[in-house]
């Protein structure tokens, strides 16, 4: 998220909510956003964060296709638990 200026203009609480929503989507949760999460975020609705999650996924895919592979090589390492492998699920 921190690689795109349009996302950086959002409140940190919204970015956190987008991260939770995106993670739940990647891990195939039936409901990536529910009333409990809405309550914990003081009323942030799925309609507000869903487009931002799509934007996040777009930028991840765009970065994956770029020639800048440093980030991908770093997060392929076992110390980072190979988290880059989740990109295939996006």
Every domain of the chain and the residues it spans: 5-63
Instruction: Read off the pLDDT of residues 3-45 as tens digits, 9 standing for 90 and up.
Output: 678 888 889 999 999 999 998 998 878 899 999 999 999 999 9
The 10 Å Cβ neighbour count of residue 18 is 23
Residues 6+ apart with CB under 8 A from 73: none
Look at the alpha carbons of 42, 11, 59, 61 in this order and tell me if their dihedral is positive or negative.
Answer: negative
**Per-residue model confidence (pLDDT) at position 78:** 85
**Per-residue model confidence (pLDDT) at position 2:** 62
0.85 exceeded by pTM: no
Instruction: Read off the pLDDT of residues 70-85 as tens digits, 9 standing for 90 and up.
Output: 777 787 888 887 777 7
């Amino acid at each position: 998220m921190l690689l795109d200026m349009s996302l950086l203009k959002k409140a940190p609480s919204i970015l956190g909510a987008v991260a939770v929503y995106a993670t739940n989507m990647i891990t195939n949760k039936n409901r990536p956003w529910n009333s409990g999460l809405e309550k914990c975020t003081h009323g942030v609705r799925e309609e507000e964060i869903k487009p931002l999650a799509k934007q996040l996924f777009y930028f991840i895919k765009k970065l994956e296709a770029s020639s800048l592979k440093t980030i991908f090589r770093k997060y392929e390492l076992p110390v980072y638990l190979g988290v880059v492998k989740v990109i295939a699920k996006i």
